[in-house]
Chain A
Amino acid sequence: MAHAEASHGEAHAAEGHAPQRFIWRYVFSKDHKVIGIQYYVTAMLMALVAGLLAMLIRVQLAWPEKDFPFLQKIVPAGYSSGFMNPEFYAMLFTMHGTIMVFFVLSTAPVSGFGNILIPLQVGARDMAFPFLNGLSFWTFLVGCVVILSSFFVAAGAAAAGWTSYPPLSALPSAVPGSNMGQTLWIVGMVFFIASFTMGGLNFVTTILNLRTKGLAMTRLPLTMWSMFLVAILGLLAFPALTAASLMLLFDRHLGTSFFLPAGLVLNNQPLVSAAGVPLHQGGSPLLWQHLFWFLGHPEVYILMLPALGFTSDILTTFCRKALFGYRAMVGAMLAIAGLSFVVWGHHMFLSGMSPYLGMAFAVGTILIAVPSAVKVFNWLATLWRSRIQYRTPMLWALGVVSLFISGGLSGVWLGQSAVDIQLHDTMFVVAHFHLIMAGAALFGVFGATAYWFPKMFGRLMNEPLGKAHFWLTFITYYGTFFPMHYVGITGQMRRIYDPYQYDFLKSLQPINQFITVSAILLGASQILFFVNFFWSAFKGKKAEENPWHANGLEWTTPSPPPHGNWPGAIPEVHRWPYEYSPPDTEADHVMQTDPPRPGEGH
């Protein structure tokens, strides 16, 4: 096990032990950096698929009555009549949500950057269980293939929303997507959960057990704290969805009634056997909702927390100031992670929940605003009166702060059950979670990519391209999702195929067209990213060991780090990673590994 060695000679032996054949070194690798990049690239390709689905959704919402002959050529099954089929629309938003939430925004920041960064930032030669780590990636890849293959089965992909509420998801004959597509959805999710669990076991064990000498938990970069908490959230929350998925499979294929009540009517036919006995009875569709959201709410923090960690690390580096309130930041993340387990009911205010219970969930939800505000306050205090260097990673980090505020504010609205009853299942909710959960996570991933690119590929990303990508994305992102608040307050439902069948929504079409144009520009802007990414990975400017003059352990080893991470001994840590412009010395920054100065407190 490579992580155990620390001495010089052993480290060279570790490099010598790196597999030499291409297939073992880069394909079936057990090296955390290779696995991290594999995860990251796969997630970004999945993002491409899910992003294209979103474009089709937006085109439909802007011009539902128009026929697009070229789309009919590309996806004949979805446009069989020249117009988009409603069933196809349901598949689009279902698969967009599923792929984005699980296979992109859980994967790229957590499995991608978690794998790349954890051993580098805690000072370990590799993850605690390298074989398990490799296995987790290949399990994930099987999940991706299963999910994507559902587009090609006869009846099409799953169409019950990314939340897959029964009975729609539990009756194979309910809609075309409820058939084979839904089964593949469940199987794909089980592979995803298995892979995420293996990753989570590695994360917590590595962070707790393999930290280098001197690296107390209270000296961890906030990125590491976020990964640690995310892994715990994943380990504790995902099993609920595993259990629910198994019960759903049983309901679908083995005739049980966990989620299916009696009295169901399908296509005007009551669901009864030939003898008139109901095929299902006594089950509770709400049970699924509880189990799903017991996972689902921690899950959105699995997406968010890494972005908050990246942001803290990047902000301090580029404003050359110590992080304000480290312990409060850790406490805030702990509080957010803890509260995430007791607020799932705010997704279900309209499910007939007792108002007293709803009140409890509302209070818990609004409480999350407190640690969130602590984080924003500390970021602003860190930025306050600093000389900000506007490099690409910094722009993305500032973008995260912006989105975290604008998305968080609407969260306080939606957390109140009385307000939520009005806004539930409207485009307002879509606006809210795209800003805070999806947007902040996405911007965090882009920021982390630009910041840690040297540790991934030994090169720097192109700055002008990166900045152009940021500004285009930032403007079009707000252009897409900010007007949705208005659309939602006006009453447009989410997941609706043609809003203009209702007279009171007809006036919204111009706004929806504006949103769609923004969304298409947003999608097109991502071409800049992919060009920059692949060009820089092969042809970018070579990066030195510590191009940003940052303090963390990952900047004490060559870019990219060799197998075993440090050519020599693993460095020892003497302080926290945010020592920028310390008041008592002339130095611009003090590395975590620099020996203590005379008179220094630690």
Chain B
Amino acid sequence: MLEQTVHEPPSVTDGGPAGPAAPREGGEGPRRGPGHDPARFGLWAFLGTVAMLFMGFTSAYLVRRESLDWRPLAPPALLWVNTAVLAASSAALEAARRALRGWSLGGARRWLGVTGFLGGGFLLGQVGAWRLLRGQGVFLASNPHSSFFYMLTGVHAAHLLGGLIWFAVAWWRLRRLALTPGTDALGLFATYWHFLGVLWLYLLVLLFVV
């Protein structure tokens, strides 16, 4: 997994490939500025490839939607609850980040716990939504819209499960005091977690709005 060695506040603008940089004067070895943290850059590159995966699904979705057998699926109301849970989980993570930066280890622990709890809740809620649909007789192969719904929510859930594993590692490290207070050591995890939140909103819009 990506090693978490962020010592400085990360710059949010990083992520794109740095252009042809001028030769650096002074400084020994690889560049170490906040904009050149390898783990942060590597994470953004990974998010880029995940984004392309969903671009692939999106193009398939837009093409397939034009066919005659398309039956629009009504979103189960539970999805809105799940969305709120996931958003709350992201907010809790921000609170945990702030607490860690502000030397409040207890606060960091508390809010990180809430993050993971709500993240797990979202996952259970998604399973609940699938069960609701199954109860209505809407299965994976029922029609193309339901196929895409199950597949896209499933792939998103798989990425979220990865996020929960990352959460468990962060939680364990926080309990062992391996995350330095006063730093943004939860920053990388937060980037991934918020990305999954934004991705979920995107999927909702794609599946049920446009």
Contact = CB atoms under 8 A, between A and B. Distances in A.
A159 B123 CA distance: 39
Given A201-B45, A238-B49, A254 B144 contact: no
A242 B51 CA distance: 12
A204 B24 CA distance: 19
Contact of A282 (B55, B57, B144): B144
Contact of A258 (B17, B19, B48, B147): B147
Given A205-B42, A216-B23, A250-B147, A239 B140 contact: no
The 3 closest A-B pairs by CB, nearest first: A6-B29, A243-B56, A255-B141
Given A201-B42, A208-B41, A213 B56 contact: no
A301 to B, nearest CB: 16
B29 A257 contact: no
Interface in B18-75: 18-24, 27-32, 36-39, 41-42, 45-46, 48-50, 52-57, 59-60, 63-64, 67-70
B67 to A, nearest CB: 4
A212 B27 CA distance: 10
Interface string A103-132: 000000000000000000000100011011
Interface residues of B, number: 49
Given A208-B41, A209-B41, A294-B56, A5 B20 contact: no
B154 to A, nearest CB: 9
Interface residues of A, number: 60
A33 interface: no
Given A209-B36, A258-B144, A291-B60, 19 more contacts: A4-B29, A124-B30, A128-B42, A201-B49, A202-B42, A208-B17, A213-B24, A235-B49, A239-B55, A240-B55, A243-B56, A244-B60, A256-B140, A256-B151, A257-B147, A282-B67, A282-B68, A282-B69, A287-B63
Interface in A208-233: 208-219, 232
Given A204-B17, A284-B67, A239 B50 contact: yes
A264 to B, nearest CB: 14
A291 B56 contact: yes
A235 B49 CA distance: 5
A247 B29 contact: no
A283 interface: yes
B29 A212 contact: yes
Interface of B: 1-3, 5, 17-24, 27-32, 36-39, 41-42, 45-46, 48-50, 52-57, 59-60, 63-64, 67-70, 140-141, 144, 147, 151, 155
Count chain B CB atoms within 10 A of each CB in A202, A214, A236, A241 and give the residue with the most. Answer: A236
B151 A129 contact: no
A175 to B, nearest CB: 23
A129 B30 contact: no
Interface of A: 1, 3-7, 124, 128-129, 131-132, 197, 200-202, 204-206, 208-219, 232, 235-244, 246-247, 250, 254-258, 281-284, 287, 290-291, 294, 570, 573, 602
B161 to A, nearest CB: 15
What's the dominant secondary structure at chain A's contact region?
helix
B27 A213 contact: yes
27 contacts: A128-B39, A129-B2, A201-B46, A201-B49, A204-B17, A204-B45, A208-B17, A208-B36, A209-B31, A209-B38, A210-B30, A211-B31, A212-B29, A216-B22, A235-B49, A235-B52, A239-B50, A243-B56, A244-B56, A246-B151, A246-B155, A257-B144, A282-B69, A283-B64, A284-B63, A284-B67, A570-B29
Contacts of A281: 69
Contacts of A201: 42, 45-46, 49
A60 B18 CA distance: 52
Nearest to A294: B56
B30 A209 contact: yes
Contacts of A284: 63-64, 67
A299 B130 CA distance: 36
A442 B63 CA distance: 37
A215 B2 CA distance: 25
A454 B40 CA distance: 34
B27 A240 contact: no
Given A246-B151, A256-B140, A129 B52 contact: no
Contacts of B2: 129, 132
A237 B37 CA distance: 25
A244 B46 CA distance: 19
Nearest to B154: A246
Nearest to A207: B17
Contacts of A206: 38
Contacts of A247: 60, 151
Nearest to A238: B49
Q: Which of B19, B37, B45 has the most CB of A within 10 A?
A: B45
Contact of A243 (B22, B48, B53): B53
Contact of A240 (B31, B42, B52, B63): B52
Given A3-B30, A216-B21, A284-B67, A239 B52 contact: yes
A242 B20 contact: no
A290 B64 CA distance: 12
A197 B50 CA distance: 10
Contacts of A283: 64, 67, 144
Contacts of A197: 46, 49
A250 B151 contact: yes
A417 B48 CA distance: 33
A1 B41 contact: no
A281 B19 CA distance: 48
Given A255-B140, A257-B141, A208 B60 contact: no
A255 B140 CA distance: 8
Contacts of B68: 282
A214 B21 CA distance: 10
Nearest to A243: B56
Contacts of B70: 282
Contacts of B147: 250, 256-258
Central interface residue in B56, B60, B141, by most chain A CB within 10 Å: B56
A118 B21 CA distance: 18
B20 A235 contact: no
B139 to A, nearest CB: 8
Nearest to A135: B1
Nearest to B70: A282
> Chain B CB within 10 Å — which of A238, A242, A244 has the most?
A242
A250 B48 CA distance: 25
A284 B31 CA distance: 49
A1 B20 contact: no
Contacts of B69: 257, 281-282
B12 to A, nearest CB: 17
B24 to A, nearest CB: 6
A557 to B, nearest CB: 16
A68 B164 CA distance: 58
B60 A235 contact: no
Contacts of B46: 197, 201
